[in-house]
Amino acid sequence: MGKLDCDIAIMGGGMGGVAAALAACSAGRSVILSEATDWIGGQATAQGVSALDEHKFIESPLGCTRQYAQFRQRIRTHYHQRYAAPVLMPDWKDAIFPGQPLNPGNGWVSRLCFEPSVGVTVLADMLAPYLQSGQLRLLLRHSPAQAECVQDRVLSVTLRDAVTARTVTVRAAYFLDATELGDLLPLTNTDFVTGAESAADTGEPHAQRGPARPSLTQGFTYCFAVDFCEGERHIIEKPDNYDQLKKRQPYGLDLLNRAGEILRYRMFAENDAQQLLPFWSYRRLVHAKLLDPHGVCGLRDIAMINWASNDYYFRGLTEDAATAAQAHAEAKRLALGFLYWLQTECPRDDGQGLGYPELRLRADVMGSLDGLSKHPYIRESRRIVPIKRILEQHISADVLPAPLPCPDSVGIGWYSIDIHHCVGGDVHDLAYAPTHPFQIPLGALIPIRTQNLIPACKNIGSTHITNGAYRLHPVEWAIGEAAGLLAAYCLGCGVSPQHVWGTSAHLSQLQDQLRAYGAPIEWNHTLFA
């Protein structure tokens, strides 16, 4: 067993973890960053969701952090250089956002859709100067296995290599939990919650009536990518228990919206009656007509599939290891079952039979042997019990006439409260509600007891409901930046995060450092005029 020392140890190399590492390194601190898979980037890469979930002002100045904007621009630069792609989306019928900056996939769910591997390359390039100097050390395929704590301080965390099973113990002054499920929280005896809180506890209008339901967590998804090979057959082997999976899910392109209306999507054609764009271009990652208009590169469209039909919500991942292993296996079969349904049973747009055998699973896009994302897309994890909790009544546009002020803000975000089908729930547990542009309270990043552990992604002190708005790509990135700079500030001043939150002078200085780093902590409300 080896030993490593650093100022700040970050466990989890997703969006929050990478952002935290960049921020901490920029402040001059030595950093160790571990990641369970062999790809950094989390939901934008290893989890396959490289069609970014963002807000409509994401391209605007102060609509996101400077580093997140750089991440997005570097992705576009990659495609400009690789395919001589246009800087702006062309003004033709097929362009989803004409006149806007390049969207390589031209998908309609996001203004930036791209191949996951491109996201990995861009993030690696952003980290490269710190890796080359030795200030940052990156440990891929390493996950937390145990921790040593004394009273309310974490002394070390032992990581296990998924390939060799060897361990390394990391000692640091601060530990940032950027793992996808909040894995450090139980290991360090940090107070945390899972699932849905009771309305009696939170006072939230849409919280659970009656007792809390710790197992009621949002479903997770194994995403996959396909292209369309005209005249070819690429039907996969029928997954085990396919008929049972299809009956239980069920599979289909139809969606039930929040108003109870059935939205009937078609594969490649628009549904003119309901004004619905095609399923195919929903999370399309590569649009051949846009990037390769003359067919010089032989590109085909590539679509990423992240749909209600491959959301898995029958077992959770934060219980025991055996249950989690079973959930992973079932979720993979569920996803492959949806692909098999698309290839063999999906009604064709032309009305000529069932199934699109021309759909080909692109394992290379996800960088995996089975064609599924390396890691499932996690929507909800363990969450710290913070000194300041984010509640529905703090951000909901249905509850508040205007945004609430947030004096301890360390970042911004904006996304609707979006809760997918939950483990042990039913359709009535689905929730979707608009929010005001919101802020990230420092108090939500500070555990009530543990002194030197800081959450750095979706494991902050939100609730089951507000997690549905704080779990998205740019918000998770902003949380990571705040966590990284908070740890660096505490080291520089010799104070605890709790002291920073409770002392106006320290809070003000930290907020100034965030602004200087390019991390806005308040919204420019001229955007909404």
d(CA 228, CA 288): 11
Q: What pLDDT was estimated at residue 426? A: 61
In this structure, what DSSP letter does residue 102 have?
P
Beta bridge partners of 383: 193
Q: What is the pLDDT of residue 429?
A: 53
DSSP secondary-structure letter at 403? P
Phi-psi region of 31 (alpha: psi -120 to 50; beta: other; left: phi over 0): beta
| pLDDT for the residue 430 | 54
Domain 2-50+115-199+380-528 - what CATH class?
alpha beta
Domain boundaries, the chain: 2-50+115-199+380-528, 220-366
Tell me, what's the pLDDT at 427?
A: 45
What's the pLDDT at 428? Answer: 45
DSSP conformational letter for 519: -
Indicate the pTM of the whole model: 0.97
CB 74 within 8 Å of CB 177: no
| Per-residue confidence in pLDDT tens, the chain, 529 aa | 799 999 999 999 999 999 999 999 999 999 999 999 999 999 999 999 999 999 999 999 889 999 999 999 999 999 999 999 999 999 999 999 999 999 999 999 999 999 999 999 999 999 999 999 999 999 999 999 999 999 999 999 999 999 999 999 999 999 999 999 999 999 999 999 999 999 999 999 999 999 999 999 999 999 999 999 999 999 999 999 999 999 998 999 999 887 778 999 999 999 999 999 999 999 999 999 999 999 999 999 999 999 999 999 999 999 889 999 999 999 999 999 999 999 999 999 999 999 999 999 999 999 999 999 999 999 999 999 999 999 999 999 999 998 999 999 999 999 999 999 999 886 445 578 999 999 999 999 999 999 999 999 999 999 999 999 999 999 999 999 999 999 999 999 999 999 999 999 999 999 999 999 999 999 988 887 6
- pLDDT at site 425: 80
Backbone Cα Rg of the chain: 22
Q: Count H helices and E strands in the chain, helices first.
A: 14, 21
DSSP 8-state secondary structure symbol assigned to residue 525: G
Buried-state track 370-380, b at ≥16 Cβ within 10 A, e below 16: ebbbbbbbbbb
Asked if 107 and 281 touch (Cβ cutoff 8 Å), the reply is yes
